[in-house]
Amino acid sequence: MIEIRELEGGIRVVVDEIPGANSVAIGYFVGSGSRDEPEELAGASHLMEHMAFKGTDELDAKQVALILDSHGGESNAVTGKEFTAFYARVLPDAVGEVTPLMAGLIGEPALREEDLESERKVVEEEILAHFDDPGDLAGEVFCQALFPGHPLGRDVLGTQESVGAISSAELKGFVSTNYCKRNIVFSAAGAITMDEILAALGTSESLKPGAQRAARTAPEEDPERLAVLEHSSSQAQILVGYRAFPRRSQERWPLLIADQVLGGGQSSRLFSVVREQHGLAYSVYSDTLLFEDTGIWSASAGTSPEQGQKTYALMLEVLASLRGGGISDEEVERAKRSIITATRLGADDVSSRMGACAQAVLTGLPPLSVDEACAKVDAVTRMDVARVIDNIMEGPMVTTVVGPFETSQVEDWLD
């Protein structure tokens, strides 16, 4: 059973009570991410993800770690382009202590200058590791090309220069503006009731009232058709894709199925053609990522540089084969069954349920029960999927290649 309440100050609370669960997942989801940062503070959200666990004025990092570890379970945080989440999975009797502790970490973080100095170095190491991963780089370069000149095109980590320049005062200002009750959803799922969560939250004094975050602007510039990053890697990372629908669009349900058919499993077209028939890639798949005002549908493969052009040509053939109603009833039904099965299996994971409810409420959508989500998938027809595929592929396609190539070499692939 899912319940939603809005408390004083505007914080929204969503609880998915799951009878029979042994644990509880809780999370504070802040409705601000890397796209909400001014360019000079690029990476601030991710830096705050790190700094929150450094403690408050009353608790230092070691004390915070001791409290969390004393309850066992798990705690972590994650930064996205449109949200930052701080979450934990614990036993029910720990919720009363861990919930206000985490509220203090994000509502009243100490953000000590000495902690910031050391954590900047940690983040800079993370950025360097990112540069050593061609797959990560391909995703970053792809987003830059798909959303040129827009914050959605920036990586959530920021740059070494931007992170190194963020001061304690600037980070405090960013937190003060974005980490307010009106911009926060608290989500819980598992062996817990709404009344028990409200008791744990109390008055949420650590979280401050504030105005709604600044309105976002949609990408306006047309995508760049080709982006190549020369990189001395042993593989070529190829990523092609399109802009897709916003998260609130009902077309997201047919898109789920189109994505499953394209590259969502071992029977998908990309896997069957690129890997099974031609043996050109170990990793080949497709993916969707939906935002407030736009989205991404992409296909990716990693292959040896000498097979790059052939792999790229096969990826385009597979994409083209989907157009004009080129998807079968059998593929649609198989994809629906796969998604429904994954959804029902995911119902056993309280953390997954907690995150799904939080993201729905952040987006302004009603959180769906497992049965409701499965019914949405099951209602999709082959014509729905065909319509979505043709609609997306009418837009410009972006090609990104990361590997030992110059741009002119990849341009020859496009001829």
pLDDT of 208 reads 84
Among 201, 236, 254, the domain-final residue is 201
Q: What is the pTM of this model?
A: 0.94
pLDDT digits (tens, 9 = 90+) for 55-104: 999 999 999 999 999 988 899 999 999 999 999 999 999 999 999 999 99
Q: How many alpha carbons fall within 13 Å on the CB side of residue 146?
A: 28
Give residue 6's domain range. Answer: 2-201
pLDDT of 231 reads 92
If DSSP states are collapsed to H, E and C, what string results for 112-173?
A: CHHHHHHHHHHHHHHHHHHHCCHHHHHHHHHHHHHCCCCHHHCCCCCCHHHHHHCCHHHHHH
Region of poorest pLDDT, from 36-40, 204-208, 252-256, 386-390: 204-208
In a domain, 219, yes or no: no
pLDDT digits (tens, 9 = 90+) for 302-348: 999 999 999 999 999 999 999 999 999 999 999 999 999 999 998 88
pLDDT of 205 reads 80
pLDDT digits (tens, 9 = 90+) for 17-48: 999 999 999 999 999 999 999 999 999 999 99
Buried b / exposed e over 195-220, threshold 16 CB at 10 Å, is ebbeebbeebebbeebeebeeeeebe
CATH number at residue 76: 3.30.830.10
Residue 413 has pLDDT above 90, yes or no: yes
Mean pLDDT of 9-24: 95
Together in a domain, 61 and 146: yes
In a domain, 176, yes or no: yes
Together in a domain, 278 and 333: yes
In a domain, 282, yes or no: yes
pLDDT of 199 reads 96
Residue 415 has pLDDT above 80, yes or no: no
Together in a domain, 262 and 405: yes
Together in a domain, 311 and 388: yes
Edge-to-edge strand order for the sheet containing 236-244?
226-230, 398-403, 236-244, 295-303, 284-290
Mean pLDDT of 9-23: 94
pLDDT digits (tens, 9 = 90+) for 206-220: 888 877 778 899 999
The band of 290, judged by pLDDT with boundaries at 50, 70 and 90, is very high
pLDDT of 248 reads 95
Residue 203 has pLDDT above 80, yes or no: no
Over the chain, what is the mean pLDDT?
Answer: 95
Together in a domain, 186 and 315: no
Any idea which residues carry the catalytic annotation? 49
Together in a domain, 155 and 245: no
In angstroms, rounded to a whole number, what is the distance separating the alpha carbons of residues 153 and 34?
10
Counting every residue, how long is the chain? 415
Q: How many domains does the chain have?
A: 2
Together in a domain, 254 and 397: yes
Tally Cβ neighbours within 10 Å of residue 369: 15
In angstroms, rounded to a whole number, what is the distance separating the alpha carbons of residues 34 and 44?
7
Mean pLDDT of 394-406: 96
- Share above pLDDT 70 across residues of the chain, in percent, rounded to a whole number: 100
